[in-house]
Amino acid sequence: MSYWFGNDNRLPQQRLAIVSYVIVGMVGVLLIGFWKLQVIDSDKFLQWAERNRVRSIPVIAPRGRMLDRDGRVLVDNYPSFSVLLLRDDPAQVEKNLPAISEGLGIPIEDLKQQLQNSRNLKNFQPIVIKPEASKADIAFIDSHRSDIPLLEMLMVHRRRYMPGGFMAHASGYVGEVSEQQIEASNGRFRPGDFVGKSGLERQYNDLLQGTDGMRRVVVNSVGKEVDHLPTQEAIPGKQIQLTIDSDLQQVAEQSLGARDGAVVALDPRSGEILAMVSHPAPDPNDFAVRISNEEWKQLNDDPAKPLLNRAIQAQLAPGSVFKIIMATAMLEDKVPPSSFTAFCPAYATFYGRQFKCWVYGKSSHGVVDLHKAIVESCDIFFYNVGQRLGIDRISYYASHLGLGHRTGVDLPSEETGLVPSEEWVQRVFHRKWYAGETISVAIGQGAVTATPLQLARAIGGIAMGGVFKQPHLVKDAPNIGEERFNISESTVDKVTDAMYGVVNEAHGTAGALKLTGVDFSGKSGTAQIINYDLRSRLGKSKQFKDNSWFVGYAPRRTPEIVVSVLVQAGGHGSEAAGPVVRDVVKAYYDKKMKKTDGTVTAENKEDKQQRRGTAAPAAAIQPVLNTPEAVAAREAQPEEPR
Amino acid sequence: MKEAPGTRDYDWWLLAILATICALGVIEIYSATHGSSLAGMHMKQIRWLAIGFVAMFALSRLDYHLILDQAPILYLLGVIALVAVLLVGHTRFGAKRWIPVLGEFLQVSELVKLIIIIVLARFFAEVRSDQLSLRDLIKAGLLVGLPLALILKQPDLGTALVLVPLLVVGAYLGGLQWQHAAIFSLAGILLIGSVFYPPVSRHILKPYQRERITSFLHPEEDAKGSGYQLLQSEIAVGSGGFWGKGFGKGSQNQLGYIPVRYSDFIMSAWAEEQGFKGVLLALGLYMALLLRLVQNAQRAKDRAGMFLVMGVAAALGFHVLVNVAMVIGYMPVTGIPLPLMSYGGSATLFVFLAIGLVMNVRIRRFVN
């Protein structure tokens, strides 16, 4: 065989050897690459692989329910579905937005806004794009699982409150967490979460909220679920039992009716609040899903101020109810002495100005001692007492009897009311106190203001002999705060006898409220909204109806119940507010009698049923005390409508 | 002249290494596809391997000098086939690469690689000098340039690129002078640089190729494209750790996050499930295979045989380097399979035919 080349066997051995080294070097470089990925950075990539593989869908913890003192459910939950958008893959989200917008009927700008709002969140955290999904929405998601694998259903628990705004201000309401709250929560809240926005919902949010769980599923590269991982169960929020007696609450709600005002009933022996009403009241069920900005604005701008919890936020002149403070101050200070009497011709002149008694133009009180002055609410007597005591002594007693500062009730945004003093005018208005102002303050007018709860606590505390329990709404709370102010027994006797007289004596201002079988006592108040000067400047044509107050309690010593009622623009205290107090006190005793008699079997049956339904015992709860720091911290985060 | 070579003259070590690599490939193809719609792919691969073995032995019996004799005709046939593909070829995955042969689609360019190895072996063996002249170097360049241009036209950048190391290694062993090496290296660097330089690459690369280059340079800008593929591959490799997640247990592999995990990215799947120790085994085997090829070249009877074996070594080495470097994100996605492990008929057949040439040279080393 002849070949086209000679048998040349000169091989480039050196260059072949070099090629061998190149091969070894090449494999070495590749191995270094693998070493970097698989040994040095292995943990990071393992995490990324997990993130690829595992999709986490939150399991929302149901909020704790609220029960009344007998175990009846006041605030409950119902199941509902929200639509979740999974954002692991921004490009795909972008691509599918139009289809999602059309399918769920959400404007595409809204979706973009929501995505924008959650831009700071990690991509693997899904966001709620539509709460309260309809049947059509659920069908849409189910039928598009393969082509739009970005949507998930999330079972959530919506709040159900009693209808018609029943106890709405005490319970408060939940709403979508605001951006500020998210930022302040250290990652505990996500957009779309519901948190307590006001009332008990806000105060006890940490307890009620529970801890969301996580359902973890394995998804393949096209987003299809292929397996399930162990689910991290949600820890339901704790149920709280309130001191509210829903029977009393019901009576209070109905008795106040459509009038603007507030009712607070509390047990002064323990500080337990038995009823708390503020009208007008919004229906928190309206906020349980998502409230629009317009609706929110409307609620906020409503001149009737439905969002204001008048029981703790209405700071109004207490009117003649303040005379109880004055009487206590006088008896304790012995200025003027307890035997002091004044003559009431229905008017008197102090510092060159004429001050009238409320009976002016109808009759006069004649010679008045302390007892008569309270029973018949004589202004002239207390003008004199006020003049003799002076503003700083009045201020001292009013403060120590609980006015001018928060009661510490376990609700957010409690107001302080105001007890004026020389120091106060100096600080706020940079002027001297006019002695004439003291005269107005002496009958609970002028600068002095108080909230219904403060008055209930003050009157209850005086009747208790100077023991002021911290009012609270959560039952069986340990470490209830208590303030003591030494009031002598004779003072307590005199003042409570007088308040008994208000209701039970012939000339008492609230004689019409007498309750047979019950030692019902109290004090009415009729407070002008604006002072005489302002009224005369605005002209007499305009009618400003007085605010009507009544603070009543029973029995006359160490009372079990004290009820404070404000009816705004209600007119005379004993006519507008008084009957509401009487209704509540009567309801309290009716229930108590029935219970002790053991005659009401129907109610007991209902009771048992409720108990069975609420197997889990209410948590033992420390009331969230309203220390100044806590209040300041809460108020630093203003509520924002969502 | 001695009788025809016997079975004991075959390189059984080489075959053992080859078989082991194939076994790893089949195992990983099974793991990557058994739970999906592609189940059963490993059996198809075994069928290709069987055909490959037969073809390898068949080719080894035919004296390589006879094959080299026909180099000009083979070259001509190769060029005609490439033109034919461009004219009547079957389009799959956006490229005209396939012509139907025996009911399967064959990639003509794989066959052309083999032909270029043979043609270059003959060309360099005919250079009767220890030093390669510039004239011969340019001739060799033109010889490779024509089919390269045709393959680029398909377009198949990966296969076209494989022709370059054939030329480089052949020229180097053929006595390349360092001045020429310097000039051509410079030209090569300029060319690669221009590929990465958008104003120039716009004229010479297809959009999908430019996209791959971009996503290689900036993987984060291309979360779902080939940057995504590279990232997912790196995640798979990295998450495997030293010991691996175990056979059939790689989440990136099993859940389909690794792109074409049974073919181009099979090393990624292997690295995830078998870990660094598995990579060590696989790359060790490839290194042994390549070194064994070089050893065969060193012991070849003549220059022609040596060039044949080293052509095969250059092709396989380049495949392994580019593929594995891509899997760990060191190189852009080029579509070059991993020899013997990646699933694929034409590619497997090419490797076995190439090894057939090596055996051919090997069994004739003592023949005069």
- How many whole angstroms separate alpha carbon B19 and alpha carbon A554? 100
CA distance A46 to chain B (A): 4
Same domain, A181 and A323: no
Shortest CA gap B234–chain A (Å)? 7
Q: What is the pLDDT of residues B216-239, one digit of tens each?
A: 666 655 555 667 788 888 899 999
In a domain, A526, yes or no: yes
Using the predicted structure, report yes or no on whether residue A251 has a pLDDT greater than 70.
Answer: yes
Task: Tell which of A7, A11, A41, A46 to mutate to test the B interface (max B CBs under 10 Å).
Answer: A11
pLDDT of residue A558: 86
State the smallest CA–CA distance between residue B329 and chain A in angstroms: 9
pLDDT of A585 strictly over 90: yes
The answer to whether residue A103 is domain-embedded is yes
Compute the nearest-CA separation of A187 from chain B (Å).
26
Residue with the larger pLDDT of the pair A537 and B58: B58
Domain membership flag for residue A610: no
Which pLDDT tens digit goes with each residue over A143-170? 887 777 788 888 888 889 998 889 999 9
Q: Are residues A371 and A301 in the same domain?
A: yes
For the beta carbon of residue A477, count every other beta carbon within 10 angstroms: 21
Q: What is the pLDDT of residue A325?
A: 94
Query: Quick check: is A218 in a domain?
Result: yes
CB within 8 Å: A13 and B298: yes
Average pLDDT, chain A: 83
pLDDT tens by residue, A336-350: 898 999 999 989 999
Q: Model confidence over A278-308: pLDDT tens digits? A: 989 988 888 766 666 777 788 888 888 888 9
- Asked if residue A5 belongs to a domain, the reply is no
Write down the pLDDT at residue A633. 47
Nearest to B37 by CA among B339, B262, B345: B262
Report residue A554: phi and psi, to 5°: -160, 150
Are residues A195 and A147 part of one domain?
Answer: yes
Report if residue A24 sits inside a domain: no
Would the CB atoms of B291 and A24 count as touching at under 8 Å?
yes
Range with the lowest mean pLDDT among A214-228, A542-556, B296-310, B321-335?
Answer: A214-228
Tell me: do A237 and A250 sit in the same domain: no
CA pair distance B159, B164, nearest whole angstrom: 10
Cα angle for residues B270, B274, B278 (degrees, 5° grid): 90
Give contacts of B224 with chain A, Cβ < 8 Å: 89, 91-92
| Highest averaged pLDDT of the listed ranges A56-70, A86-100, A400-414 | A400-414
pLDDT band at residue B101, thresholds of 50, 70 and 90? low
User: How many independent structural domains does chain A possess?
Assistant: 2
Q: Do B238 and A44 touch (CB under 8 A)?
A: yes
Average pLDDT over residues B244-252: 87
Residues of A in contact with B173 (CB under 8 A): 12, 15-16, 19
Q: Which has more pLDDT, A602 or A311?
A: A311
Contact in structure between A403 and A448 (CB atoms under 8 Å): yes
CA distance A66 to chain B (A): 46
**How confident is the model at residue B221, as a pLDDT?**
55
Please tell me which of the candidates A15, A17, A27 has its beta carbon nearest to residue B287: A27
pLDDT tens-digit map of B12-49 = 999 999 999 999 999 999 998 887 778 888 999 999 99
Cross-strand pairs, A418: A449
User: Which residue in A has a C-alpha nearest to residue B169's C-alpha?
Assistant: A19
In a shared domain, residues A491 and A523: yes
Regarding whether A592 and A478 lie in a shared domain, the answer is: yes
Query: pLDDT at residue A452 above 70?
Result: yes
A33 chain-B contacts, CB cut-off 8 A: 325, 328, 330
CB nearest to B328's CB, from A37, A39, A218: A37
Same-domain pairing of A233 and A377 = no
Please tell me if residue A21 touches chain B, with a CB cutoff of 8 Å.
no
Tell me how far apart the alpha carbons of residues B162 and B111 are, in angstroms, rounded to a whole number. Answer: 12
A86 in a structural domain:
yes
pLDDT reading at A22 higher than 80:
yes
Q: DSSP for A212-236?
A: -EEEEEEE-TTS-EEEEPPPB--BP
Together in a domain, A290 and A327: yes
A98 and A223 housed in the same domain: yes
C-alpha angle A349/A352/A353, rounded to 5°?
60
Mean pLDDT of A533-537: 53
A positions 74-113 inside 8 Å of B (CB): 89-92
Q: Are A574 and A458 in a shared domain?
A: yes
Q: Which domain holds residue A514?
A: 246-531+542-599
CATH code at position A167: 3.90.1310.10
Q: Tell me, yes or no, whether A228 lies in a domain.
A: yes
Name the closest residue on chain B to residue A24, using Cα atoms: B287
* Res A5: pLDDT: 52
Query: What whole-number distance in Å separates Cα of residue B75 and Cα of residue B117?
Result: 10
Report d(CA B8, CA B12) in Å as an integer.
Answer: 8
Closest-CA distance of chain A to residue B325, Å = 7
B278: closest chain A residue by CA: A34
> Which CATH number fits the domain that encloses residue A402?
3.40.710.10
What pLDDT does B368 receive? Answer: 52
Q: Element (H or E) spanning A354, and its range?
A: strand A353-356
Nearest CB partner across the interface for A34, out of B65, B172, B279: B279
When mean pLDDT is compared across A386-400, A611-625, B244-258, the lowest value belongs to: A611-625
B-contacting residues in A 41-80 (Cβ below 8 Å): 41-42, 44-46, 48-50, 52-53
Interface touch A38/B130, C-beta < 8 Å: no
**What is the CB neighbour count within 10 angstroms for residue B19?**
12
Residues A237 and A251 in one domain: no
- The nearest CA of chain B is from the CA of A283 a distance in Å of 48
Question: What's the pLDDT score for residue A631?
Answer: 47
Both A415 and A364 in one domain: the answer is yes
